[in-house]
Amino acid sequence: MTMKRVLSGIQPTHDSFHLGNYLGAVKQWVELQHKHDAFYCVVDLHALTIETDPALLRKRSLASAAQLIALGVDPDKCTLFLQSHVSEHNQLGWIMECLAGFGEASRMTQFKDKSQKSGTDRTVVGLFTYPMLQAADILLYQADLVPVGEDQRQHIELTRDLAGRFNSRYGDTFQLPEAYILKAGAKINDLQDPTSKMSKSANSMQGVIEIMDTPEVNAKKIKSSMTDTGREVLFNEKEKPGISNLLTIHSALSGRSISELESEFAGKGYGDFKSTVADVVVDYLRPIRQRALELLEDESGLIAVLRQGAEKAQVVAEKTLASTYKNLGLVER
């Protein structure tokens, strides 16, 4: 039996990934790479939807690759590459744009949220066509599964719709992908505003745990996270969103169940609990940050790994693009 294909991507828009990126997505990338044919890319072209200083974009793309490897994405077990290294992504992206309806694209909530925040005049067209490039990322590799956080569900649904539409118009060309979203960790919330998701674009970074932050900074953020009413450590997202979020984080990192943690902290206050969560998070992230910093010291080594990844990815991407062009009726060269 052939192995199932997996594809996912992450944007290099910031100096560090946050705990939501890890628990919602990258942790699953690491698990899936062992029994699947996995392709993971740093989607640097998607990051161009936010204007960034060129030196910073370059630095962040490499830092993203280093963090992925430090978090356990193993270039010997999967194909790790930069999106811009495989030009087929742009080529299939255009085809997806010609397939998607304007209304359909206008309904993407991420586009609506982001464009509302910055206003029409400051919203680039690329933000609107972003999900079609994402569809191309996925379909080029004929992915069966796409491990992501809850906020990406709608984009994966759109990808399925586009693949199905193409197949029924032009003949079977694309595998229909499925979102792979785990219940625990699918949405990690901000520590200061625990009803909103932890996000790289939050107004304040006080509630965002960054992988590359120092242990001291992260411990402080957890200890000063928003306090819910009451005093018992119980999982109840409505009444205790802050504590529930910390329970989810502890459980995902320690591998212990939420009910086990509730019993452990029965009769103890929020203060004790927060200190323990701070220890769990900091102990988990310390060696990862260290490893990422080491990897970044050898930039050419890192680029070589990405180049190899791109070469492997391109073999698959070329094949899909060729059959797509053929099925569309574009004349062979």
Looking at the annotation, which residues are catalytic?
114, 197, 200
What are the start-end ranges of the H helices in the chain? 19-21, 27-32, 54-71, 88-99, 102-106, 109-118, 125-140, 153-170, 215-223, 241-254, 258-264, 270-297, 299-328
Nearer Cβ to ligand TYM, position 187 or 240?
187
User: Which residue among 20, 75, 241, 309 contacts ligand TYM (CB under 6 A)?
Assistant: 20
The least distance separating ligand TYM from the CB of residue 268, rounded to whole angstroms, comes to 27
Q: Which stretch binds ligand TYM (CB under 6 A): 2-10, 92-100, 286-294, 302-310?
A: 2-10
Closest residue to ligand TYM: CB criterion: 24
Candidate residues 25, 70, 233, 282; the one interacting with ligand TYM per rule CB under 6 A:
25
Give the separation between CA 67 and CA 157, rounded to whole angstroms: 28
Of 179 and 265, nearer to ligand TYM (C-beta) is 179
CB 18 within 8 A of CB 243: no
- In three-state secondary structure terms, 79 is strand
Q: How far separated are the first and last CA of the chain, in Å rounded?
A: 35
Instruction: Give the separation between CA 17 and CA 24, rounded to whole angstroms.
Output: 11
- Residues 16, 134, 142, 248: which binds ligand TYM (CB under 6 A)? 134
* Token digits of residue 189: 């919330």
Q: Which is nearer to ligand TYM, 151 or 213 (CB)?
A: 151
Q: Is position 197 an interface residue for ligand TYM (rule: CB under 6 A)?
A: yes
CB nearer to ligand TYM: pick between 253 and 265:
253
H/E element, 41: strand 37-42
R_g over Cα of the chain: 21
Return the SS3 of 205: helix
Binding segment for ligand TYM among 21-29, 70-78, 264-272, 281-289 (CB under 6 A)? 21-29
Options 149-157, 160-168, 235-243, 315-323: segment touching ligand TYM (CB under 6 A): 149-157
Q: Indicate whether 149 belongs to the interface with ligand TYM (CB under 6 A).
A: yes
Minimum Å distance from CB 263 to ligand TYM? 26
5, 27, 85, 187: residue in contact with ligand TYM (rule CB under 6 A): 187
Which amino acid appears at position 238 of this protein?
Answer: K
Q: Helix, strand, or coil here: 87?
A: coil
Burial string for 110-146 (b: 16+ CB within 10 Å, else e) reads: ebeebbeeeeeeebeeebbbbbbbbbbbbbbbbbbbb
Contact 254, 282 (CB under 8 A): no
| 95 forms part of the interface with ligand TYM (CB under 6 A) | no
> Among 5, 27, 36, 46, which residue interacts with ligand TYM (rule: CB under 6 A)?
46
Using CB under 6 A, list all residues that contact ligand TYM: 7-11, 20-21, 24-25, 43, 46, 134, 137-138, 146, 148-149, 151-152, 155, 186-188, 197-199
